[in-house]
Amino acid sequence: MKKWLGIVLVVMLILCSFTVVFAEEPIGDEVLPDIAEGIVDSEDDETEINEDEQSEEISTAITAQSGDIELMDDAIQPMAVNIGDIEYTFEEYTIVPGQQYTFEMPPIPGDDGSIIYQWYKLERNEFNFLVPTTPIDGANNRQLAIVPTAEGYSCRISNATGSNDAYHALLKYQTGLRDELGNIAPDAVQGAIGQRVELKVSPLVDIGNLHYEWYKGWNVSLDTIISTDSTLVINSVSTNDYGYYTCIVKDDYFNSIGLTTILAPPTNMNINFDTFVVVPGERIEIKGTATSTKIDHADGSPHTMTASWAKYDENNNVNEWWDLKTPDEDGGTFWELVQNGQVNTASSLNTNGSNMELNFSIVMNSITEDLDGKYVIMIEDSYSNRIFQQYVISVEDYTQTRLVGTGGTSLWGVLHPAAELWITPIEDTAIINMFNNALSTGESIIWMNDVSLGIQGQADEFKGELGLSIPVGTQYNGQTLTVLHSTENGLEKLQGVVKDGTLPITTSGLSPFAVVARDTDTAGRVSPQTDDSNKLSVWIAVCMVAIVVIAGMLQYRKRQREF
């Protein structure tokens, strides 16, 4: 039976294979779309032929009409160009010295060939205006190809109707003067009475010939040049020499830059204060002191010192300075923060003999995110000596953080963003004695330090409870150790189980800690009491009971056999 069943299955498989291989493709819906597509294509071809014939006829008609129009245009005579109607135009070119450039006068509509072109150099006159000067020989076309040697070029056109300077090409030379000339540093050059001082300007790189013009005063008058050297030398400083000096530097390509410095008496001005990392709602106070040498002015005016502050924008620029004043005084636009009590400022000047001292403070009562950023404080005296101090207010929030201190001690919790973990020896003998007096017989202190968080500013160090992990060594693994904690309310005792050589505890505050362990030389090692050890004891007891029961049963059967 099994044999015949196998034969039937083989025959059925062979029949199925033949059916698949020799099946013919039916002509149905899948074939008809291809035939229809062929019919449509043939119609499209005929349509395209008809459209081509129509396009050719239309094109022929347009050609004939345009021919007529061209005949009419040829019959019209061009009108004469009125030079007075040509509008003045100009172009600006940024060029590299020594290279050839082509300047081109815009085409003039209706030019019948009667217009005459003439190019000129543009040079400055006594009123500092660029004007055309001597004509350039041979430059009589609408285009001028030349290696520029002037600040610009002008093209004058003329015919029977008149003449007109119709085109100016104004040139800007790329020489690096503005980018590569070194500024005068520092902002104020100091010089004592009778001292020889030098005010010097020099380029950072070689950019060719430079021309210098030195002027005295903040408002430069071009007819009061006091030196044309790169270095202005004052052999013996007097009080009349103090003040602003400006140097205008020019190159051979008509670029110029003005640099200003100050000659002032010597000063010992300085300011010092901290920078801040704060959290929203925190209050910070920025204090500073600036001192300066008091030197009388030649005109008898008083010597003063002022403090200003500013916030940098996203491009690290200062847009506005705000004077440090008392809250009831007016200030800049930023003073809205003073009026609503968010920021208070104050400054006071004290004089003592030959020195002066300026004290100032900036109090931000409740930090908000809009106060986040980089700030600068400027102290300036009446001789324009200036000093600057930058600081940053970084507004961040408390986060879950883990810190590691000296020796592997770690602390975790919701901490201030600027918190730092400090592990330091305990120096207070009263606290050390308190820890020692708390020891029982056979106990000793194996770790003792002061644990604290150091942060910038005046803020809470953490929120909620803290986790503290103290390294004690693997020899204490599994033991429950006691931690002594010195608090404001006295001595607190905490406990934890040592794992991997560290003792973890939970605490609500930081201060001196001490870890206590049994002295192994007198009391021996304390046996660990854990849940696993209790379970092991139960199993051992069960096994012993089972052995006793089995032994009893065997003994009972033996006695039964004897009887």
Place of tokens 């008083």: 302
SS3 of 289, please?
strand
Q: Of 437, 467, 435, whose CA–CA distance to 449 is shortest? A: 435
157, 89 contact by CB (below 8 A):
no
Give the Cα-Cα-Cα angle 518, 523, 529 (nearest 5 degrees).
65
Give the strand order in the sheet containing 89-95: 89-95, 162-173, 152-159, 116-124, 130-135
Q: How many CA atoms lie within 13 A of 48 on its CB side?
A: 6
Q: Give the pLDDT of residue 348.
A: 85
CA distance 513 to 411: 13
* Residue-wise pLDDT tens digits, 398-445: 889 999 988 899 999 999 888 889 999 999 999 999 999 999 999 999
Longest distance between any two alpha carbons in the chain, whole Å: 162
Nearby residues of 1 by Cβ (< 8 Å), 6 or more positions away: none
373, 312 contact by CB (below 8 A):
yes
Give the Cα-Cα-Cα angle 340, 343, 349 (nearest 5 degrees).
125
Q: Give the pLDDT of residue 337.
A: 65
Asked whether the bond before 302 is cis by omega within 30 degrees of 0, the reply is no
CA distance 246 to 219: 9
CA-based end-to-end distance of the chain: 68
Q: Which two tokens stand for residue 5?
A: 């069943």
- DSSP 8-state code for residue 236: S
512, 487 contact by CB (below 8 A):
no
Q: Which two tokens stand for residue 536?
A: 């092991």
What are the beta bridge partners of residue 120? 135, 154
Give the strand order in the sheet containing 284-293: 284-293, 355-364, 343-352
Q: Of 502, 313, 538, 537, whose CA–CA distance to 412 is shortest? A: 502
Q: Of 103, 191, 106, whose CA–CA distance to 146 is shortest? A: 103
Q: Give the pLDDT of residue 554.
A: 53
533, 481 contact by CB (below 8 A):
no
Q: Give the pLDDT of residue 222.
A: 65
Residue 260's identity, in one-letter code, is T
Nearby residues of 487 by Cβ (< 8 Å), 6 or more positions away: 509, 511
Q: Which two tokens stand for residue 94?
A: 């940024």
90, 168 contact by CB (below 8 A):
yes
Q: Give the pLDDT of residue 274.
A: 67
Q: Of 186, 245, 184, 255, whose CA–CA distance to 220 is shortest? A: 245
CA distance 58 to 64: 10
CA distance 516 to 482: 5
Give the Cα-Cα-Cα angle 391, 396, 397 (nearest 5 degrees).
150
CA distance 357 to 360: 10
Q: Which two tokens stand for residue 262?
A: 């100050």
SS3 of 138, please?
coil
The DSSP code sequence of 479-520 is -EEEEEEEETTEEEEEEEE-BTTEEEEEESS-SEEEEEEE-H
Nearby residues of 148 by Cβ (< 8 Å), 6 or more positions away: 95, 97, 101, 171
412, 467 contact by CB (below 8 A):
yes
Q: Of 314, 309, 270, 267, whose CA–CA distance to 286 is shortest? A: 309
User: Which positions of the chain have pLDDT values less than 50?
Assistant: 1-78, 332-333, 521-536, 538-539, 542, 549, 562-563
Nearby residues of 372 by Cβ (< 8 Å), 6 or more positions away: 393, 394, 395
What are the beta bridge partners of residue 358? 290, 349
Q: Which two tokens stand for residue 196?
A: 């020889």
Q: Of 341, 358, 337, whose CA–CA distance to 349 is shortest? A: 358
Q: Give the pLDDT of residue 201.
A: 85
Percent pLDDT > 90 in the chain is 28
CA distance 166 to 151: 17
Length of the chain, in residues: 563
Residue 311's identity, in one-letter code, is K
